[in-house]
Structure 1
Amino acid sequence: MADQVELSSPPFDSVSQVRFSPTNPDHLLVSAWDTTVRFYDVATNEQKAKFDHRAAVLSCLFGDSTHAYSGCLDTGVRELDLTTEKVTSLGQHSNSVSALSYAREINTLISGSWDQSLRFWDPRAPKAETSNHTLPERVYHMDIVNNTLVVSMASRLFHIYDVRRMSEPAQTRESSLKFMTRSLACMADGQGYAIGSVEGRIGVEYFNPSPEIQDKKYAFKCHRQNIDDVDHVWPVNALAFHPVHNTFASAGSDGTVSIWDHKVKKRLRQYPKYASAIPSIAFNCDGTRLAVGVSYTWDEGDEGLKKEGGTVRAVWVRKVGDEVKPRAAG
C-alpha cells in the first residue's frame, strides 16, 4: 500500500508502545516485550539504534531530540542516549513502571508505577529523582497537556494534577465508563481527554468543572461487530489526538483504527483492518503520519494466540490526509 509502510526489523515480541519525537516528524521509538526499545527513522525505514533491557519495556518516550526514556517491568527508569546508544539508570520504583510522561513546561520526566506512586526525575541532576507522590491505586496510564497531568489508575480512578503543584490532585474523578480503563489521551487543545475501556467504549471528558462544560461529556460504543447475530466487543487499547486538528484516533484488539471528530460525535474514517490487535498508536509532531503497533495483546491467553496462528509483530507508519480534518458542524 502506497499510503503506509511496514517498518523493517520490528521487535521479536509484542509491541508495548510507539512514540514519535516531539520535534522531528520522522523519528519514532518502539518499546516491546522483547526487552528492547528501538529507534527508527521512518522516512528512510531504518533502525538507527536498539537499546537492550533486562526485562520487558512497558513504556518509552522522547525527552528531546537526542534523549529518550524507558519504563520497565523490572521497576527501572532509564535514560537512552540516541546518539551514543548508552543506557543510564535514573532510579527505580518498587514495582513495574507502567507509564511515562514528559512535562516539557517544567523539563521533568514523570514515571507512574504499579507501586501506587508517581516519581519526578531531572536527568541532569546528580540525584535524578526530585520527588515521589503516593497514589491510592496502581497507575495504568498517564498523559499530559501543557501543565495538566491525567493519571488513570486501577479501580477506575483518575487524578488530574497541575504538575507545578503536586501536593494534591486538582481534581479526583471516577471513570465515566463501567469497566477497566485501557487507554487515555489528552486533547491537543488542552480542554480535556478521552478514555477507552476493555468493553469497547470511549468516553470524552473535559477539565473545566463548571456544570455547563461537564454537560458536554459523553461516551459511545466502538470497536464492536455483529458476527452471525453475536455481538463481539473488543478493548480500546490506544487513543491519540491529532496535534493540529484535535480529532482523535482509536485502536482496538479488533485490529482496526478509526478517526473520530468528537465535537460533532462522528466517525470520519476507519482504515482497513490490520493482521492482529493494536496495542499502541501515535501521531507524529506535524500530524502527517500515524504509527500503528500491531501485535497480539493476550486478551484471550494462549487460546487466542493459537487461533491467530502465531504472533504477528509489525509497526506500520501511515500517511494521513484530509480524513483527520474535522467536518464543518451542521
Structure 2
Amino acid sequence: MSNFPGLRNPVVANQNPNKSVEVVQPPSDSVSSLSFSPKGNFLVATSWDKEVRCWEILETGSLNSVPRAMISHDQPVLCSTWKDDGTTVFSGGCDKQVKMWPLMSGGQPFTVAMHDAPVKQLAWVPEMNLLVTGSWDRTLRYWDTRQPNPVHIQQLPGPCDALTVQHPLMVVGTRTADRNLVIFNLQNPQIEFKRITSPLKYQTRCVAAFPDQQGFLVGSLEGRVGVHHIDDSQQSNNFTFKCHREGNMLYSVNSLNFHPVHHTFATAGSDGGFGFWDKDNKQRLKAMARCSQPIPCSTFNSDGSIFAYATCYDWSKGEECYNPATAKTHIFLHKPQESEVKAKPRTGTSIRK
C-alpha cells in the first residue's frame, strides 16, 4: 500500500474555493451523474429531483453555460451516458427504466430498457451498437435499442453499483459482502472473464478502465483507490493509495475519470476535494482546495479541456447533518492547466511507504 505525496487539501468553508465557473440553473436536488457529449461541449446532469438537464458550454475567452433542454423521469434519476455520435442521451434511475432522448434532433424521450429495480449504471458500447444497463436487481442487460427486449441478461453476484467500459474490457462493481468485481471481455460478453475480490476493504463506489484496456481503477468508501491490472503477469504493478482523507476521517471516493489525452486521472470525493494523479509514475499532480460540500460525480469533456464536478449534500453523514440553508446544489467547470494533468518525470521520491 502506498501514499501519493503532497500536501493535504486545505479545508475551507467555501462553496467554490477553486474559483471554478458555476453552471447556471443547476438542479434543485443532489446531482447523481454528469456526462459530456463525445462530439461537443454539451453537458448532461441527472438529479434526485427526477430531471435530466442539458447545457451547452461555450468557450469564449471564459466558460459560459447555456441551458438547452430538460426532460423528466417519474422517480429520481441516477445515471446517464451519451451515444458515441453525440446525438442521443440515455438516462436511468429509480423508475426502473432507461429513456433514450434524441436530444440533438429535438425529439421526445422514450423508454428503451427496463429492470426490476433501480437502474444505477449505463454504458453505450459503439463497437457492439448496444446499450449496457446495470441495476440493483443484480443483472446486467444488453439492449439493441430498436428492439423491446434485451438481447442478453447477465446475472451478477450482487446489485450493480459501478460500471466502466473500454472495449473490449468491462468491469462491474457489485455490492456484496466479499466486494466482488466482475470482469468481462466484450468479445465474449455472455461469460465472465474473471471475478475478483476488490483490493480495497470497503464497499466499491466507482471504477474506471485504463485507456489501454490493461486494467482499471477502483475507489471505495474508505478514501482509497486501487490500481489493478488484468493480466496475472502484471500483478506486481498493482497498488493502492490513500486519497480523500483528513486525519482519522475517511471519505468516499465517488468518481474516477481518466483524462482523454494525457491518460492521467482525477478523483473526487465526499470530503469536497478533487485532484489529479499519474498512476504510471505514482504521483499526485495537483490537489485542489476542498469545497464545503461533497462531490458526488465528475467528468472530463472530450478533449480534457474542461473538468465538470458537482457539489451537494450526499447524505453520507446522515439526516442529522443535513442543513437546508447550506445544502445547495452546484455544478462547476474547471479548466485544468497542463501542469495539473500532464505526467511529470518520476523522481524516485514520489511514494511514501
1:281 matched residue in structure 2? 298
Shift of 1:159: 0.8
SS of aligned partner of 1:129: coil
- Structure 1 residue 3, shift from structure 2 partner: 6.5
Inter-CA distance 65–128: structure 2 relative to 1 (3 Å threshold): farther
Matching residue within 146, 153, 164 for 2:167 = 146
Pair 1:206 & 2:206 matched: no
Q: Give the distance between the partners of 2:314 and 2:38, measured in 1 at CA.
A: 27
Aligned to 1:187: 210
On the 8 A contact 2:152/2:190 being kept in 1, the answer is: no
String of CA shifts for 1:18-63, please: whole Å, max 9, x gaps. 0111222x11110000001111111141111101110000000111
SS of the counterpart of 1:215? helix
Q: Quick one: which amino acid aligns to residue 177 of structure 1?
A: L
Residue 174 (str. 1) matches residue 227 (str. 2): no
1:3–1:319: 8 Å Cα contact kept in structure 2?
A: no
Q: 1:131 aligns with which of 152, 159, 176?
A: 152
Kept in 1: contact 2:169–2:209 (CA 8 A): no
Q: Distance between the aligned counterparts of 2:296 and 2:181, measured in 1? A: 21
**What is the CA-CA distance between 1:312 and the residue it aligns to?**
2.0
Using the TM superposition, give the Cα deviation of residue 126 of structure 1 relative to its aligned residue in structure 2, in angstroms.
3.5
Runs (4+) of structure 1 exceeding 6 A deviation are none
Shift of 1:167: 2.4
1:205 partner letter = H
Residue 335 (structure 2) pairs with residue 314 (structure 1): no
**Residue number in structure 2 paired with 1:8:** 24
Counterpart of 2:271, as a letter, is D
Q: TM-score, normalised by structure 2?
A: 0.88
Kindly indicate whether residue 251 of structure 2 is the aligned counterpart of residue 237 of structure 1: no
1: CA distance, partners of 2:132 / 2:22: 31
The structure with more strand, counted as a fraction of residues: 1
Given that 1:283 and 1:291 are in contact with CA atoms closer than 8 Å, whether structure 2 keeps it comes out as yes
Larger relative contact order (CA 8 Å, sep ≥ 6): 2
The aligned counterpart of 2:115 is: 93
1:55 to 35, 51, 75: 75
Correspondence for 1:81 among 96, 102, 106: 102
Answer yes or no: is the 8 Å Cα contact 1:201–1:219 preserved in 2: yes
Matched, 1:35 2:50: yes
Percent sequence identity over matched residues? 33
Q: Is 1:261 matched with 2:278?
A: yes
Work out the CA distance in 1 between the residues paired with 2:214 and 2:184. 14
SS of 1:140 mapped into structure 2: strand
- Stretches of structure 1 lacking an aligned partner (at least 5 in a row): none
In structure 2, the CA distance between the partners of 1:41 and 1:128, relative to structure 1 (3 Å rule), is: farther
Show the counterpart of 2:11: none
- CA distance in 1 between counterparts of 2:161 and 2:336 reads 29
* Aligned equivalents of 2:155, 2:119: Cα separation in 1: 14
Q: Which runs of 5+ in 2 are unaligned?
A: 1-15, 59-63, 348-353
Secondary structure in structure 2 of the residue aligned to 1:326: coil
Q: Supply the AA of the counterpart residue of 1:93.
A: H
Q: Is the 8 A contact 1:188 1:242 kept in 2?
A: no
How many residue pairs match? The answer is 321
Q: Give the structure-1-normalised TM-score.
A: 0.94
Deviation at 1:293, TM superposition (A): 1.2
